[in-house]
Amino acid sequence: MPLIGAHVRDDDPVSAAAEVGAAAVQVFLADPQGWKKPVPRPGDDALRASGLGVYAHAPYLVNVASTNNRVRIPSRTMIAQHAAVAAALGARGLVVHGGHVGEGDDIAVGVDNWRKTVERGVASWGVPVLVENTAGGENACARGLDRLAMLWDAIGGSGVGFCLDTCHAWAAGEDLETLVERVVAITGRIDLVHANSSRDPHGSSRDRHANFATGTIPAELIAHVAREAGCDVVVETPAERQAEDIAFLTAALAA
């Protein structure tokens, strides 16, 4: 059965999971806004022994699509470093945003940079890298299914997986009712769902997560995506109501 979990605080993920009724956790392994190399932490042994499904999320700065060497090359290094630590935790995947090219750059160059990254790294990563769709940006490599198709033409079949974020897809203007079928037609797989509502209207291009009860995406539509995907689900919603979101999904998927 797919696991339903949450992105939780990094200092004590096992306790945080218990507080919200999560069967899986997603954590950052280092500062999500920095380039610092991840290192083992005191709670790692407890996390490995917990029986929880574990996912790691790469820092937001990682952008292997970039045409800027000072961003792209460190980003490749960061994926390798975070993948090694994630593998040591027994993680099921390392989530990495699809990234973007600079203004005026050809998106095909960014896609080819992804291809090179995967060809050079996939054999040594030790954990599945899950490319996540993004909410906005004309230069983004994984915003909208047309861009996703371009990307998968370059990296599909390599073992790289896909993470589907409902808030990001909503922000990009996608129809969530038919989304899973259309994504699978492109990628052949969905390995993880980020089940998030949004603070903003459909097609806003804004990435602002909300709890199910307060967001603009109908909660049953989020559950529909999770049900159709049939894989593990992680909520990245505000912590104060994560338990409600997990309980809703648990009941909806069991019905």
Q: For the residues of 66-92, what is the DSSP string, one character each?
A: -S-HHHHHHHHHHHHHHHHHHHHTT-S
110 close to 101: Cβ distance less than 8 angstroms: yes
What's the pLDDT at 42?
86
What's the pLDDT at 231?
98
What's the pLDDT at 217?
98
54 close to 23: Cβ distance less than 8 angstroms: no
What is the rounded distance in angstroms from the CA atom of residue 14 to the CA atom of residue 18?
6
What's the pLDDT at 59?
97
- Closest by CA to 65, choosing from 134, 123, 127, is 134
What's the pLDDT at 137?
84
Q: Which residues of the chain have pLDDT under 50?
A: none
212 close to 225: Cβ distance less than 8 angstroms: no
Q: What is the pTM of this model?
A: 0.97
What's the pLDDT at 123?
93
Residues in the chain: 255
What is the rounded distance in angstroms from the CA atom of residue 127 to the CA atom of residue 191?
13
What's the pLDDT at 1?
85
